[in-house]
Amino acid sequence: MAVGAQSETAPAFRRHDIDWLRIAAIGLLILYHAVIGFQPWARDIWFIQNDQTLEWLWIPMSLLNVWRIPLLFVVSGMGLRFALERRDWKQLLADRFLRIFVPLAFGFFVICPITAILFTSRYGGGLVYLPNAGHLWFLVNLFLYVLVLLPFLGFFRKPDGNPALRFLARSFRRPLALFFLAIPPMLEAWILDPEIYWAYAGSLHGLALGLVCFSGGFILASLGPVFWASVVRVRLPALLAAFSLYLVRLLAFGLQHEPAPMVALESSCWLLAVFGFSATFLNRPARHLRYLSEGVYPMYILHMPIQFALSRIVFSLPLPAAIKLLLLLAGVLGLSLAAYECVRRVFWLRPLLGLRPHAKA
């Protein structure tokens, strides 16, 4: 290949749509956690619960549930692949230790225990200091994937001369071949057969599915233009298939006890549609993109104790549940953003919340 030429499977240096998807996924996570506070089982999974529930909201949340966390794992795998364009594996491992393990340790001993104290004191359990990973379970999985997979994923770093990538590149020139990407998550679902597909946190199913999605994201990013061109062409069929499978879950199963492989297929179709539409409309620079892309990580780390503190205030107000939800969501987003604004200005706090020690100009 001539100097300066780009292989058809070489990854693009920067994908603005991936930045937007990361921002959207964290935003959906914050929305999802706020809605849990208005479900009748919220207290059972250690969420502060409002007396008046909004159970109907679980219908749209069930649509998001099957793909929002897999999306984060796929995007994280893609991010690792893009990072390898600028670093060797030793530099990348050091960077991931700083960006993942350090905030995880800080969250384990400081952030998540605050969340636990807010919950236990609300329900008569007193002030109990309990180190835990809490909502940062995602970082535990992510760091394990980096440690375990990095030596093997290096095989997919160089597209030229890689038979596996050449085979995938030839296959994905036929866009409908992308639907075969559903086979690994369907096999995982068939083997482990999780009772609740979206119960990712702290489960073997969540660990295995995350591994599939993370490694898949790395490999797909290595395909570069071949994957992005194909996923754009398949976005409408994927959206139709995903929504049809969701209707089957809703109308035939009542969103309960669905066959796990069917849910995995639906999840894969949603992911193809999301990547296809985002590649079509979002792969361009935009004002505030860099700011938000940096900010969503500390906002994710901080939002749970903020939500629990606000829940104790908002849920005591004599207001309809829908108004409380809007107040809670606006408060969590606003205060999380304000906390990020404070953290980004304090050099010693930045690494604890997943930011690089020194902000770029």
Return contacts of 313-316, CB within 8 angstroms, 24+ apart.
315/37, 315/48, 315/49, 315/50, 315/51
Cβ atoms 223, 169 nearer than 8 A: yes
Tens of pLDDT along 308-331? 999 999 999 999 999 999 999 999
Q: What is the pLDDT of residues 243-277, one digit of tens each?
A: 999 999 999 999 999 999 999 999 999 999 999 99
% the chain with pLDDT above 70? 94
Closest listed residue to residue 304, CA positions, set 150, 134, 92: 134
**Do residues 214 and 74 touch, judged by C-beta distance below 8 A?**
yes
pLDDT at 107: 98
Cα 114 to Cα 116: distance, rounded to the nearest angstrom: 5
Per-residue pLDDT at 9 exceeds 70: no
Give the pLDDT band (50/70/90) at residue 161.
Answer: low
For residue 237 the two structure tokens come to 């069929």
- Tens digits of per-residue pLDDT, 187-212? 999 999 999 999 999 999 999 999 99
pLDDT single digits (tens) 163-173:
888 888 889 98
The pLDDT of residue 151 is: 80
pTM recorded for the entire structure:
0.92
Q: What is the pLDDT of residues 127-160, one digit of tens each?
A: 889 999 999 999 999 999 999 988 887 777 665 6
Question: pLDDT tens digits, residue range 53-79?
Answer: 999 999 999 999 999 999 999 999 999
Q: Are 347 and 358 in contact (CB under 8 A)?
A: yes
Mean pLDDT calculated for residue range 81-102? 89
Quick check: 359 pLDDT over 60? no
Give the Cα separation of 287 and 355 in Å (integer): 20
Which has the minimum average pLDDT: 37-46, 87-96, 206-215? 87-96
pLDDT score of 3 more than 60: no
Q: What is the pLDDT of residue 87?
A: 81
CA angle, residues 330, 331, 335, in degrees to nearest 5: 120
- pLDDT at position 13: 58
What average pLDDT does the chain have?
91
